Amino acid sequence: MVPSRLAFLQEFERDLDSISLRDWFQSARKQEPALDEFIDPATLRGFLQTEERDPRKPQIWRALVRSFHLNPEPARLFVLGLLDPALDHLMDKFAGDDLDEEDLWQETLTCALAALSNPRLPARPEVLAGLRLDTFYQLRRRLGRELSRARNLVPLLEEMSAPSRSQPRDTPDEVTVLARLCRRAGIGKEGFALIRLTRLQQTPLTELAPNRSAMYERLRRRRATAERRIESWLLAHPAWPRRKRQQGLETDADLTF
């Protein structure tokens, strides 16, 4: 499973001093003259992640990728971590699509790893540019499929959470309160339907997606994000229920998304 971005960056920082990465890097330095001037992974990281243009960088990236392909396991996290600034710029191109930031990170890292593992990559004229381009095209395809699934997911969640005469699973008052909270916290139809189905109606997430699958983890993150927004809004408006009753502001418009 792909880690969250924060967990990934924390693990990357810890890995810089790991014995396995240091051994891998020393072996790579012996095989690739372009890497020899860098005494350890942290020094190489400091050089490659600067914004300054340097004519040595293309050859260093080529040497790095060649070494990765010879022995990928110890260096997978390191090389992906070196790509983080490039991946950040790439994610900006898709900002505003119907995906939260963590979902976008998960998809971007998955595509970057696939591009990095391409056996033809070391022979590309520009290795780093090739990595960016391959990641971009893979990400665009994956996000297209993901957005299509997301559009189909909302009607499914709404249908599953629709009231049933034979088996009522939530009350009108509960649904009304949740709808008003979601509207004020800036949560859309999907978040509302997901919380209603899995919290008020106590439908397990495993009925929506296989346990620990990519869709399961995505739904779990989206529910957690929506619930954090509600919690933050309530903390910022502690007198909300009492104030609304006193002011007579209860309206059906509150239920509109």
- Quick one: which H or E segment has residue 133? helix 127-160
Tokens 């991946």 sit at which residue?
A: 87
The Cα–Cα gap between 205 and 212 comes to 10
pTM to 2 decimal places: 0.64
Average pLDDT score over residue span 18-32: 96
Average pLDDT of every residue of the chain? 82
How far is Cα 197 from Cα 205, in angstroms, rounded to an integer?
Answer: 9
Cα gap 229→255, rounded to integer Å: 17
Residue 247 has pLDDT above 80, yes or no: no
The model's pLDDT over 188-211, given as tens digits with 9 standing for 90+, comes to 888 888 898 888 888 888 888 788
Per-residue model confidence as pLDDT tens digits over 29-82: 999 999 999 999 999 999 999 888 899 999 999 999 999 999 999 999 999 999
